[in-house]
Amino acid sequence: MRLLQGGAVYLRDNWINLLCALALASLALTPSLVPRPTVFQGFLAGLWLMVGFQLGFALRSLGRVAARRFGPVAPRRQPRATVPPRSAVRLGLMVGAGVVAYAVGYGALVMSWQNEVRALVEMEPIDGPGYLTAFLSMLATGALCFGIFRGISGVRALVSRVVARRGASPRAARWVGRGAGLAVTVVLVAILVGAGLVAVGQIYEGRDAQTLAGSGQPTVATRSGSPQSALEWDGLGRQGRAFAGGGPSAANIGAVTGTAAVEPVRVYAGLSQGANVVERADLVVEELERAGGFDREVLLVATPTGSGWLEPQAIASLEYLFGGDTATASMQYSFQPSWVSFLFDPELAADSSRALFDAVYERWEGLPEDTRPRLAVYGLSLGAQGMQGSFAGLADLLFRTDAALFTGPPANSQPWRTLQENRDAGSPVWQPTYQQGRDVRWQSKPGDFGQLGGEWRQPRLGYLQHATDPITWLDPAVMIQRPEWLAGPAATGGRGVDVSDSMRWIPGVTFLHLVTDMLVSEAVPPSHGHNFGDVAVDGWAQVLPGHGRSSEQLAAIQSVIERIDTHDPIWE
């Protein structure tokens, strides 16, 4: 009985905190671009729940300050009675019952929202057990955070008591206690962030030394890391070994296309191979020379993601299209996840891309014009941002390349951002048209490039972009301004057809949704989120015409590409 009475009084005395907690938890559960795993969704809701609860204390403090400043002085609260009055218990129980009723009702709405989002991206709905898993995850996260906050409050109270015993005034003791609580919070956050970054660095440095299953050292001379290569296998890095040791052979390509093929050239320099980006770029050019890369029909310069990863579908698609008569050159600039590189050294990808492209371009430009391979560039996600940063703008890119394909570019990429902002009137931001598509086109699903019609001059720039890709739309401006990709319902063209009409722009909240969606943006089927595996074949076929493949051959290549295992996610 005493436990029930104590809980009821606690609910009565902290109803403002409860309202704030419910408000933030409710916002955390509103629809976003892509569905989240149930445990992860529950974790986010529990985190926001306890942040809201702590926010309630701040609001109560502001209320007391405002009352003292603008209203009559409230009498000091009397000590609580040992046994709370029945009215307090009844009020507390009513508050508790209201919270439970709200949680049940809003939970049903949340499940409806989540299943709507899942249906739009072609995923199975969640059921009762899934909802229960999310709820338990929320409770566990909330309990952990509550314990941490109570510990900090205990430190604050202890310091206040110690200072008061030494003769300080009650007011001074309270402020010293608050300062101590703030200091503990700052130190705790610093320790968690610092330890987290150190752990990430150590984990990924260790992973970079590993070799993915299925990545065997190549024996053909056209691959880096082979016995004939000057770049040793062990120095390529985890993703470099996956790239050099993977992909289709000439026999694979011939079996799929029914035509003769040659061994594709794949050249890659790891982070340890060269003291800086310029040295690594020179090593890559030397490898291209050795492997005959400048004698191929297509020479592709590709920028990987932060960990050094290159999307297998994109590279293999080009190799199948041109019968292996291709050379792909890339190099590692980090072993960290892309988000680490993006936050702490945002120019690293561009510096690496520029060094590699300039080195390749200088050698390529020195070849007789009638013997040069067609020069193409590619990048995915942070790699797309980096490779675009190698050029002064659209005119420079089109002047120095024969084709460019950029997949899922981040919001601050250039010239992507300028092209989006200057798109033709009436075209949607998630699939814009720029100058009637004469030089640049956007595609979300196979065939989108061709739907525009009209002349698409060569050289060509193509962007693969989805309306539900949070990496593309993660822009700080979303915190204070409704984005164009949420301008209205899908039926009126106000948003992409796979973006839920239930998703609303909420200042600050939508930006945080994008941040968390980014972490699970690949855990969706192709054609949604940050998953572009199904569009790579058509993307290359359109930006690099002249491959000579029939519709039957393209279909066969597409079938093979869709079965490729991507191994690692982009933002790992």
Report pLDDT digits (tens) over 315-344. 999 999 999 999 999 999 987 777 776 666
- At which residue do the structure tokens 């296309």 appear? 257
Mean pLDDT, the chain, whole residue set: 86
pLDDT of residue 72 exceeding 70: no
Query: What is the structure's pLDDT at 165?
Result: 82
According to DSSP, residue 223 is labeled B
**Which pLDDT band holds residue 171 (cuts at 50, 70, 90)?**
confident
pLDDT digits (tens, 9 = 90+) for 489-545: 988 888 999 999 999 999 999 999 999 998 888 888 888 999 998 899 999 999 999
Task: Pick the closest to residue 285 from 347, 324, 349, 231 (CA basis).
Answer: 231
pLDDT of residue 572 exceeding 50: no
pTM: 0.86
Query: What is the structure's pLDDT at 47?
Result: 87
Residue 36: C-alpha distances to residues 29, 124, 517 (Å)? 10, 12, 7
Query: What is the structure's pLDDT at 131?
Result: 77
Q: How many residues does the chain have?
A: 572
Token pair recorded at residue 399: 């002047």
Dihedral Cα 136, 139, 145, 149, nearest 10 deg: -160
**Which pLDDT band holds residue 488 (cuts at 50, 70, 90)?**
confident
Give the list of residues 6+ apart from residue 486 with CB closer than 8 angstroms, or none.
494, 495, 499, 503, 504, 505, 510
pLDDT digits (tens, 9 = 90+) for 272-291: 998 899 999 999 999 999 99
pLDDT (average), residues 238-261: 94
Distance CA 36, CA 40 (A): 6
88 close to 6: Cβ distance less than 8 angstroms:
no
Read off φ and ψ for residue 516, nearest 5 degrees.
-75, -35
pLDDT of residue 229 exceeding 60: yes
pLDDT (average), residues 132-149: 84
Least confident of 45-54, 97-106, 503-512: 97-106
Least confident of 15-29, 385-399, 431-445: 15-29
- Pairing outcome for strands 460-464 and 403-407: parallel
pLDDT of residue 347 exceeding 90: no
pLDDT of residue 561 exceeding 50: yes
Q: What is the per-residue DSSP string for 493-542?
A: TSS-TTS-TT----TTHHHHHHHHHHHTTTSS-TTSTT--TTTHHHHHHH
Distance CA 377, CA 375 (A): 7
Least confident of 62-66, 115-119, 252-256: 62-66
**Which pLDDT band holds residue 19 (cuts at 50, 70, 90)?**
confident
Query: What is the structure's pLDDT at 6?
Result: 52
72 close to 30: Cβ distance less than 8 angstroms:
no
Strand partners, 298: 326, 374
Task: Pick the closest to residue 98 from 4, 15, 5 (CA basis).
Answer: 15
Query: What is the structure's pLDDT at 273?
Result: 94
107 against 118, higher pLDDT: 118
First to last CA, the chain: 51
Distance CA 225, CA 273 (A): 12
Query: What is the structure's pLDDT at 162?
Result: 83
Task: Pick the closest to residue 461 from 547, 381, 400 (CA basis).
Answer: 400
For residue 79, count other CB atoms closer than 10 A to its CB. Answer: 6
Secondary structure element (H or E) that encloses residue 22, with its range = helix 15-28
76 close to 172: Cβ distance less than 8 angstroms:
no
3-state helix, strand, coil in the chain (%, to 5): 55, 5, 40
pLDDT (average), residues 201-221: 80
Distance CA 191, CA 510 (A): 28
**Which pLDDT band holds residue 570 (cuts at 50, 70, 90)?**
very low
Strand partners, 380: 407
Distance CA 318, CA 346 (A): 29
